[in-house]
Structures are given as C-alpha cells and as structure tokens.
Amino acid sequence: MSAAGDQAALEPQRMTYREACRQAIRQALHDEPRAFVMGEDVGKYGGCYAVTKGLLEEFGPERIVDTPLAENGFVGAGVGAALAGLRPIVEIMTCNFSLLALDQIMNNAATLSHMSGGQFSVPLVIRMATGAGRQLAAQHSHSLEGWYAHIPGLKVLAPATVEDARYMLAAALADPNPVLIFEHIVLYNTEGELNPTVQSVDIEHACIRRPGRDLTLVAYGNSVPKCMEAAQLLQAQGVEAEVIDLRVLRPLDDATVAASLSRTRRCVIVDEGWRSGSLSAELAARLAQRSFYDLDAPIARVCGREVPVPYAAHMEEAALPSVAGIVGAARSLMSGR
C-alpha cells in the first residue's frame, strides 16, 4: 500500500449507526462460517430499518433467512441452532415483539446452561430495535431493556455510539451465552466517526464519554447524546458534568458509576424506560448502598413518563427524557453547592 493509502487507512471513517450495524453483521458472516441471520424481512426487504440491506445478495438465502411473523417460532429455532453449534444472529423487528418470544428467551436461552450444569451453552445473539421518538405510538415505542436486564443468564447490551454498534456484535458472538443487543431506533440515522485504531470494544464495563468534576450524568442508548448536549449547556453555566454511558445493562457496571460519584458527589440517572421498577431504580439503589456517604445531594432520575407512549409528536416528546429536563435535574442538585 502506498503512503497515501496508509494515511487514508488511519483516517477516522464517518458513517451512520445503521451502517455500523450492517458492517458488524457483514464481518461476522465473513469471519464465522457458522453465523447466520434470521428474522422478519431481513432478506429481500433488507430489514425493517435497512440494517441488513444487500446482505441476501452477498451471502444467499441459507445465511440470510426470512422468517414467518412468529417470534416464538423463529427465536425458538435460534435457540435450537445455537445448541446445535451454530451462531445465530436473530433480529426481532421491535422490542415489543420480543414479548411473544419471552418463553424462549427467559425459560430456554437464559436457563439451559444453568439447568444442564454447564453441559450446554446457548451462543445466541438477539438484536432488536428499542425506544421511542419516531411516532410509532404505544405498541412500538417501548424501552424494555430494563426488563431483560432483570433476568439471570442473559447479557444485555445497548450501544449508543457508532463505535459500539460496529464492534459489540463480534464480542457478543464470542460469548458462549445468550446476548441481547438493543439498538435505539432514533440512533440509526445518526452519524459518528470510527477510530481506525479501535478493532474491538469491551462488553463488560461502562464507558466515561465525557470527564467532569461537579456532577455525574448516567445514561444508555439514545439518552447518551442527550446527556452530552446537556453537559455542554451546563458547562456554559459553570458546571462540569461527567457523562457515563452504561452500554452494558447486565451485568450492570455500578463500580464505574460509584467511582465517578466519589469524585463528583452528585448523580443524575437518565432512563427512557418507565420510572417504576426501572433500570434507573436498580442503579440508584445500588449507589445508595455503596456510595451513600459520597453523596452531597439525593440521586435524581429523569425517566420516561408513566404512560403508553403517545403518537402525536409533541406529546411523544413530552413523554420522553429531554435535554432541558436533564439540565433542570442537574441544576437542582447543584443549587445547594
């Protein structure tokens, strides 16, 4: 390769979150002959969110498999394929449809290794779209990743950046146990840069996206860019906020958050899921147990309103965590400083 080619290879590559997901799947299919994709409209249609567009033509119908509209059936088939030694990548169109396969996910995939005393493993990856913000109304705007993070036997990932979307899948496929990847629908059209020196990501720990000293903002998925924007606004007001992207929801890395809290002494948790019984509630409880004496103010939470997500754009926006809401929660914690 020429010097110019070497330089080009070292330049950051800008792409959409959607393209990062596609590249991750494509590389997985090239690198792992046992891997295949299955789900509704993943083949001829190219996926509901165009993530698998073009892969059928490249890999053929044996590795890009269109399934009937029967989540319990094709997720169950994915569990069986994983038990038989294959590496299925199952796509569920939106996370609310995963409830139709909850028996297969919770009672089969998550339990078989434990119930067999480790004799069987289920190396299954399930990708699904999550979240609201696209006016898909109450039945297709859920944030159920917190529900799945409650289940032992599963690993639950929520990539918020192009880099994580590009590299989390390979790590998930290498895991001998089932991994669920929740991709936020609003992020598909967003763009970011891939660092050419990064070829893998950690799927065990949270990541500090922005260092700060006065306040810790904790989020995952589409709430991460909202926290980054809020941190910029707070900086203009003299508040340096640290932003932590949880990105791994099970196992939950509360240690990274606690370490941040020991420095900043204040914390706002942002969770698009409903507040009651949420992931934010679990994290707040853990921090209260292990970091109580580090706190200079109560832990604040900014969550989705406890209503079915409305269809009307202005009502949907009002039901979701907002940048203004995050800034307001942060300012309330700083008011007694």
Question: Would you name the residues annotated as active-site residues?
Answer: 71, 140
Q: How many other β-carbons are positioned within 10 Å of the β-carbon of residue 197?
A: 7
Name the strand (E) or helix (H) holding 180.
strand 179-184
- φ and ψ at residue 129, rounded to 5 degrees: -80, 145
Q: What CA–CA distance (Å, rounded) separates 151 from 153? A: 6
- φ and ψ at residue 242, rounded to 5 degrees: -90, 135
CB 214 within 8 A of CB 267: no
* Alpha-carbon radius of gyration of the chain: 20
Q: What CA–CA distance (Å, rounded) separates 124 from 110? A: 10
**Among residues 213, 279, 288, 292, which one has the least CA distance to residue 248?**
279
Alpha-carbon distances, residue 330 vs 13, 208, 217, 230, 301 (angstroms):
34, 18, 8, 9, 10
Owner of token pair 């994983």: 82
